[in-house]
Amino acid sequence: MSKLVTIYGGSGFVGRHIAQRMAKEGWRVRVAVRRPNEAMFVKPYGSVGQVEPVFCNVRDDASVAGVMAGADAVVNCVGILSDRGKNTFDAVQHEGAERIARIAAEQGVATMVHVSAIADTETESEYATSKALGEEGVLQNMPNAMILRPSVIFGQDDGFFNRFASMSRMGPMLPILGGDTKFQPVFVDDVAQAAVIGILGQAEGVYELGGPEVKTLRGWIDEMLTVVHRKRVVVNLPFWMGNLMAFGFGLLQAITFGLVHNSVLTKDQVKLLRVDNVVADDAKGFAELGIHPLAPEAIMPDYLWRFRPSGQYDSIKDSARNLKI
């Protein structure tokens, strides 16, 4: 019988790419998610019955253990960008990661890959702190685990370039926060390729993953605007204004008792935007894994074309203008 991998958060942005690659490797893939009925799209990644979404709550021992039974490897892709109800940074990214690793050790799982993030704990960010504590908990229980720390991840369903490209349609100005902060965007499938190496037991330890280019946020916004064929005045807002906006959105969430969730900007995100998000000079990365990461400009046109003034017809119109009659 083929081997089995359980991917916690396997229907998410990164998890689905790992699931696809593991299906191609011939493994059975168990996609552990909170809403399996919304993850049915993963089933065609493999042959009939090869990829199955199953229910799991990473805050519960029995739930985590149940979907791990019989697994040869586990992957943790579960992560959040803001607290929501019981799904807090600590409960999901610290305790949840530690729980998965502890139960993996108890069940004798051979390998584990934990998808973390490049996050500076000196920012006093709850997100960064929970990521660091999660990594610590994983390594305490699974010392041979692979820890992946990607910079901001881009790809067809990303929340980075897609978000700013969507904002560019709203008017002549594009406000941003942390315009001078450096980022090293990494392609989602490159991260998935690294995870597969860990699942197969070919690498372990901590790897920081970044693309081949480092630019400021403003530099990446300019790159995005070129791809979507739009000219906008990019306004870099001061951090005090960002804190004020985050307070306002947070207050709105509080007075509506969570009915209106703040998915725009939180105080914690403002803290993260103050520090560079790039691979450390002395960190192991793609080079050690034998992977050549793709640059954003090679991928962005494939999925950002829909934000152009005329969508997929923009390129045709440009060509038509050059015709000599």
- Tens of pLDDT, residue by residue over 53-100, are 999 999 999 999 999 999 999 999 999 988 888 999 999 999 999 999
CA angle 196, 200, 206 (to 5 degrees): 65
**Cβ of 236: how many Cβ atoms within 10 Å?**
15
Q: Cα–Cα distance between 272 and 268 in angstroms, integer?
A: 7
Report all structural domains of the chain as residue ranges with CATH numbers, in order of start. 4-154+185-210+277-293 (3.40.50.720)
With a cut of 70, say whether residue 318 has pLDDT above it: no
Pairing verdict, β 215-216 and 182-183: antiparallel
d(CA 55, CA 249): 32
* pLDDT at 286 > cutoff 80: yes
pLDDT at 269 over 60: yes
Residues recorded for the chain: 325
Is a pLDDT exceeding 60 seen at residue 325? no
pLDDT of residue 232: 96
Contact, 76 vs 141, CB < 8 A? no
The model's pTM? 0.94
Is a pLDDT exceeding 70 seen at residue 323? Answer: no
pLDDT, position 142: 98
- Work out the percent of the chain whose per-residue pLDDT is above 90: 88
Give residue 40's pLDDT. 97
Q: Is the pLDDT of residue 48 over 70?
A: yes
Share of the chain above pLDDT 70, in %: 98
Residue 224 has pLDDT above 60, yes or no: yes
Question: What mean pLDDT is reported for the chain?
Answer: 94
Task: Judge whether residue 131 has pLDDT over 60.
Answer: yes
Average pLDDT over residues 174-185: 97
